[in-house]
């Protein structure tokens, strides 16, 4: 091997760099362990400890020191499935952005196009593109995007803006740029909010041009609080309000009108005597009032006063909103109240008739106008701080700019003179509505008070300082993983990795003797290089990523197996050891097969990385890095040890006394039985297709259909069927509950309100789940049930949500990923082998394998003891199967090509049979390595990836079969008789 010294130099340098980079991970983990021991189970104390030592030196390398913050930033980052925490994908509402850019245009074509884009949004299509398509169809040449009442308005005119002379194509470019600017603005606002929240190593990134933003918060534990922080638009507004006596006549008239349309009788309630009650008793229907026949007032828990119109139960707000939005009700408002805007407060606690605490919300009527604009908005706030009011309750103090201070003085002056109230509204929710008792407030300083706790005032000050989002940010996908579950995943992954490594090493030594030891040394270096690269570039390690590392153990020895088997063949032909090694490492020896096989792996890994998200990207990335490091160590590092042996003892045989004659002189006629294998495979494929499309279908997970899943650990075993029925009754829609591992752990799936976005819906689902399952737990509060914390053993250990819109994208991406992988492999093999028949044989085998695996999942998912869902992990498994199925096929095809070019005697079928038989040891050995590794992961890798591993395990077994009994027969049958005769004639003359 030429340049051996240079390779040694780079290998040593690479190893030292890897050790250097990994040292940061070891040190960071030690510091975290010390922090955890110091804080006990108090996560806030742990964070404060780590923050306090952030600038202290924790690693001294002699020439330089590193602080904890520097070490932390250089360590291998663990994904949420290992670290625990919260992962969300936020969808910035492009619809809201477009409305804002158009100044809330009333143009019917514009608004219909917005509605059509929402209704017709498809997987992998951006909302903006669908809007442009809808606008073109609806306008039909009669209306332009650059119309003055749409986008050619004052705010978009000027340099770089839109003027009314622009064509739609020109306007689209400007609109797209403005939308991108809005998404970038949202990204910056979210970044600032997260930076001030106080989690370690947060990750936030934009996802292409979709208007989506990925946020990962390792170690975060308060689920509802974080979702509010991320999803809150922070639209702060100050509104003047109507007093209850000003709006009371309307409420009475509304109640009377509802009596005529609402048939259902409401429950009688005792109404306290106050101003509104006086209005009621003056009506002709006071008798009916006592009977409880009052659709509006019977839902009132208590009368209000001042600016509060009344107190209602949170569950009744939707009904009340429906009443107040009806045209026949709105017309009852007095002329000067026509633009009144009805809004609700934050939930608060009041006393019911029995003096018990109950939750209620307050109803307010804001003084609106034609533009539905507040008297003042939060854009005037220059600074906000969490503080305490005069009564010692949490509050937020604000400082306004000069313009805001002037408006604020006018507002408070008017409120003081009229003895009215000013509502402080954040994201359409009233936080407080104080009166003004000491005259106009000058200077622009004010305070927000209300039913806050300390964390809420901190978050509110945070979002006010960070600024408001340019549009609503809906959480369309989220995953919550508890730290205890993450630690279990690390333990399972470590066990499977170590066992897989040991089994591979033992087999290599058993089968190849001393050469196996050299391969194992190269394997150790391969793992060092792989982790070193991940640490150097800041890649994230996930649980599927650990699976990718374990799979790398199999692929790392794959190249050595191909080389060693070739060397044995060369030795049998009488070559010396050095000649056999040189030939086996040559292009016409093993290198062509190795390159062809690994290029197919790289193609499928790259496609998986492009189309995958989250942990699947981690799996693909680890796989791609592993392929690169495996090739380097197998081809160059192992060769250094082998050459050293040749220069010394020269006693290598590439086998042991037990295995030296295995698979030699094997002469099985694979082509002769092709009719039987065709029939067998056809039965399997047809049966699979019938099961998939007509009988069982596939168990599509929430990744494909949308929904929410919860992994819930109970205090003792439960009946999944009973829990499913109870939850279905509570949610009013089917809820699926399946045992996950042990009988005291369930995976719960629901599609309840999955098409509705917003933090309130997420919290509603969590509340319903808790209330329905509370009887199974002793002294477990909602917070302990829902949120994650160190040492958590019961309640929700993990949860995820996939919105309807993103599930469509995931499904579309999955289809394209599988088809793209098959297409890429077809093209590569056609270029490499220069005959389409090789590509056809390979793709026939791959299609057979994919359908077979799908069929197994379709037939077995109802009764298998582990989950067999169609999700992103399953697609990753299918793509991995495609790559590894090609491995065995390419080895056989390379030998066929070699024999056709060479002087092999016999018919074309004889040449093909000889090719399969002489490569059988490679085929079975490489497959056996993968099966050993996959079985180890299946048994010890943990419940969460068992279905994922099972798909690959079945795929590798079936892939080995198809390489031998499908790919080569299809190749034989697709080559014309004339070409076969030509090949046979050449070989007779040789």
Q: What is the pLDDT of residues 248-279, one digit of tens each?
A: 899 999 998 888 887 554 444 444 434 455 44
Q: Is the model more confident about 575 or about 467?
A: 575
Cα dihedral 968, 971, 975, 981 in deg (nearest 10): -10
In Å, what is the CA distance from 966 to each residue of 843, 900, 956, 961? Answer: 10, 20, 14, 8
Q: Alpha-carbon distance 157 to 175, whole Å?
A: 12
Identify any residues that bridge with 343 across adjacent strands, giving them in sequence order: 364
Q: Is the model more confident about 343 or about 208?
A: 343
Q: Alpha-carbon distance 163 to 151, whole Å?
A: 8
Helix or strand run (H / E) with residue 977: helix 977-989
Q: Alpha-carbon distance 368 to 374, whole Å?
A: 7
Q: Alpha-carbon distance 496 to 949, whole Å?
A: 12
pLDDT at 263 (0 to 100): 57
The two structure tokens encoding residue 478: 């989220």
Q: Any idea what DSSP says for residue 906? A: S
Task: Decide: helix, strand or coil at residue 588.
Answer: helix
Residue 758 has pLDDT above 80, yes or no: no
Q: Is the model more confident about 493 or about 863?
A: 863
In the predicted model, what is the mean pLDDT of residues 45-58? 79
Give the confidence band of 787 by pLDDT, cuts at 50, 70, 90: confident
Q: Is the model more confident about 730 or about 230?
A: 730
Those residues with Cβ within 8 angstroms of residue 237's Cβ, 6 or more apart along the chain or in another chain? 374, 376, 377, 378, 424, 425, 426
Helix or strand run (H / E) with residue 58: strand 57-60
CA 77 to chain centre: 17
Out of 537-551, 704-718, 966-980, which region has the weakest mean confidence (pLDDT)? Answer: 537-551
Q: Alpha-carbon distance 166 to 762, whole Å?
A: 43
pLDDT at 272 (0 to 100): 43
Residue 904 CB neighbours (<10 A): 18
How does the average pLDDT of the chain come out, rounded?
Answer: 80
Those residues with Cβ within 8 angstroms of residue 963's Cβ, 6 or more apart along the chain or in another chain? 845, 885, 888, 889, 891, 892, 923
Give the confidence band of 821 by pLDDT, cuts at 50, 70, 90: confident
Q: Is the model more confident about 220 or about 978?
A: 978
Write down the residue that tokens 């499935």 correspond to.
81
Percent of the chain at pLDDT exceeding 70: 86
* pTM (whole model) above 0.85: no
In the predicted model, what is the mean pLDDT of residues 814-841? 83
In the predicted model, what is the mean pLDDT of residues 394-411? 86
The two structure tokens encoding residue 632: 């380097």
Phi, psi of 95 (to 5 degrees): -60, -45
Q: Is the model more confident about 228 or about 963?
A: 963
In the predicted model, what is the mean pLDDT of residues 150-159? 76
Q: Alpha-carbon distance 817 to 424, whole Å?
A: 50
Q: Are strands 357-366 and 394-400 parallel, antiparallel or unpaired?
A: unpaired
Residue 496 has pLDDT above 80, yes or no: no
Write down the residue that tokens 């060769």 correspond to.
639
pLDDT at 686 (0 to 100): 94
The two structure tokens encoding residue 287: 């008798």
Sheet holding 445-448, edge to edge: 381-388, 394-400, 445-448
Q: Alpha-carbon distance 887 to 599, whole Å?
A: 10
Give the confidence band of 146 by pLDDT, cuts at 50, 70, 90: confident
pLDDT at 290 (0 to 100): 47
pLDDT at 268 (0 to 100): 41
Taking phi over 0 as left and psi of -120 to 50 as alpha, with beta for the rest, 234 belongs to: left
Percent of the chain at pLDDT exceeding 90: 7
């Amino acid at each position: 091997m030429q340049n051996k010294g240079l390779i040694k130099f780079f290998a040593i340098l690479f190893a030292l760099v890897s050790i250097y980079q990994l040292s940061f991970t070891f040190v960071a983990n030690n510091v975290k362990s010390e922090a955890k021991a110091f804080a006990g189970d108090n996560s806030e104390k742990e964070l404060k400890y780590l923050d306090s030592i952030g600038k202290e030196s924790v690693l001294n390398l002699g020439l330089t020191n590193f602080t904890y913050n520097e070490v932390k930033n250089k360590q291998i980052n663990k994904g949420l499935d290992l670290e625990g925490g919260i992962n969300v994908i936020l969808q910035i509402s492009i619809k809201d952005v477009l409305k804002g850019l158009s100044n809330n245009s009333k143009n019917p074509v514009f608004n219909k196009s917005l509605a059509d884009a929402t209704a017709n949004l498809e997987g992998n299509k951006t909302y903006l593109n669908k809007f442009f398509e809808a606008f073109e169809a609806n306008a039909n040449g009669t209306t332009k995007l650059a119309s003055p009442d749409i986008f050619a308005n004052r705010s978009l005119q000027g340099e770089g803006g839109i003027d009314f002379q622009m064509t739609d194509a020109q306007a689209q470019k400007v609109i797209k740029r403005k939308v991108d600017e809005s998404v970038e603005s949202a990204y910056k606002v979210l970044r600032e909010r997260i930076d001030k929240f106080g989690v370690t190593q947060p990750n936030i990134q934009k996802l292409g041009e979709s208007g989506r933003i990925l946020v990962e918060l390792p170690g975060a534990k308060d689920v509802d609080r974080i979702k509010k922080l991320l999803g809150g638009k922070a639209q702060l507004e100050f509104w003047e309000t109507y007093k209850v006596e000003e709006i009371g006549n309307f409420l009475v008239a509304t109640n009377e009108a509802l009596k005529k349309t609402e048939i259902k009788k409401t429950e009688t309630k005792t109404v306290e005597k106050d101003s509104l009650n006086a209005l009621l008793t003056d009506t002709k229907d006071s008798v009916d009032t006592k009977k409880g026949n009052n659709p509006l007032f019977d839902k009132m828990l208590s009368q209000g006063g001042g600016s509060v119109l009344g107190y209602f139960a949170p569950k009744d707000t939707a009904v009340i909103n429906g009443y107040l939005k009806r045209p026949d009700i709105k017309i009852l408002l007095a002329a000067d109240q026509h633009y009144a805007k009805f809004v609700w407060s934050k939930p608060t606690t009041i006393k019911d008739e029995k003096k018990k605490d109950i939750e209620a919300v307050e109803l307010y009527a804001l003084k609106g106008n034609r533009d539905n604009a507040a008297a003042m908005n939060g854009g005037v706030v220059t600074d906000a701080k969490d503080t305490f009011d005069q009564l010692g309750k949490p509050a937020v103090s604000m400082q306004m700019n000069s313009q805001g201070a002037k408006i604020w003085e006018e507002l408070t002056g008017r409120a003081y003179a009229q003895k009215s109230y000013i509502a402080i509204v954040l994201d359409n929710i009233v936080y407080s509505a104080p009166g003004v008792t000491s005259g106009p407030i000058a200077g622009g300083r004010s305070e927000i008070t209300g039913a806050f706790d300390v964390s809420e005032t901190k978050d509110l000050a945070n979002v006010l300082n960070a600024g408001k989002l340019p549009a609503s940010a809906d959480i369309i996908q989220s995953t919550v993983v508890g730290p205890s579950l993450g630690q279990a995943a690390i333990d399972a992954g470590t066990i499977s990795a170590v066992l897989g490594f040991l089994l591979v090493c033992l087999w290599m030594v058993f089968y190849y003797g001393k050469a196996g030891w050299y391969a194992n040394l190269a394997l150790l270096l391969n793992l060092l290089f792989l982790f070193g690269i991940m640490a150097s570039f800041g890649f994230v390690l996930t649980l599927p990523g650990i699976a990718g590392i374990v799979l790398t153990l199999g692929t790392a020895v794959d190249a050595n197996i191909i080389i060693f088997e070739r060397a044995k063949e060369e030795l049998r032909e009488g070559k010396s050891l050095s000649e056999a090694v040189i030939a086996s490492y040559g292009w016409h020896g093993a290198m062509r097969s190795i390159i062809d096989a690994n290029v197919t792996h790289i193609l499928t890994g790259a496609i998986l990385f492009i189309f995958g998200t989250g942990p699947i990207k981690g799996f693909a990335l680890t796989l791609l890095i592993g392929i690169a490091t495996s090739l380097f160590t197998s081809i160059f590092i192992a060769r250094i040890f082998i050459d050293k042996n040749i220069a010394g003892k020269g006693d290598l045989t590439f086998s042991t006394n037990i295995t030296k004659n295995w698979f030699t002189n094997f002469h099985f006629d694979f082509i002769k039985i092709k009719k039987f294998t065709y029939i067998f495979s056809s039965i399997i494929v047809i049966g699979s297709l019938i099961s998939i499309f007509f009988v069982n279908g596939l168990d599509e997970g929430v990744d494909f259909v949308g929904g929410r899943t919860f992994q819930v650990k109970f205090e003792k075993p439960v009946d999944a069927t009973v829990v499913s029925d109870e939850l279905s009754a509570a949610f009013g829609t089917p809820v699926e509950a399946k045992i996950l591992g042990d009988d005291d752990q369930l995976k719960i799936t629901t599609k309840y309100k999955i098409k509705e976005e917003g933090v309130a819906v997420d919290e509603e689902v969590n509340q319903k789940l808790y209330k329905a399952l509370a009887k199974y737990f002793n002294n477990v509060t909602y917070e302990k049930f829902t949120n994650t914390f160190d040492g958590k053993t019961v309640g929700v250990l993990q949860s995820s949500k996939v919105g309807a819109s993103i599930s469509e994208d995931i499904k579309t991406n999955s289809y394209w990923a599988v088809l793209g992988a098959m297409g890429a492999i077809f093209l590569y093999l056609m270029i490499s082998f220069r005959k389409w028949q090789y590509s056809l044989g390979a793709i026939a085998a791959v299609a057979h394998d994919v359908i077979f695996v799908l069929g197994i999942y379709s037939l077995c998912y109802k009764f298998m003891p582990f989950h067999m869902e169609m999700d992103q992990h399953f697609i990753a498994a299918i793509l991995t199967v495609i790559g590894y199925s090609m491995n065995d096929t390419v080895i056989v095809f390379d030998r066929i090509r070699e024999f056709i070019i060479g002087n092999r005697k016999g018919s074309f079928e004889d040449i093909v049979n000889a090719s399969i038989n002489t490569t059988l040891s490679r085929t079975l050995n490489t497959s056996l390595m993968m099966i050993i590794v996959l079985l180890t992961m299946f048994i010890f890798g943990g419940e969460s990836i068992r279905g994922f591993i099972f798909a690959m395990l079945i795929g590798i077994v079936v892939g080995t079969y198809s390489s031998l009994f499908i790919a080569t027969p299809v190749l034989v049958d697709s080559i014309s008789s004339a070409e076969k005769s030509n090949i046979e004639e050449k070989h007779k003359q040789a």
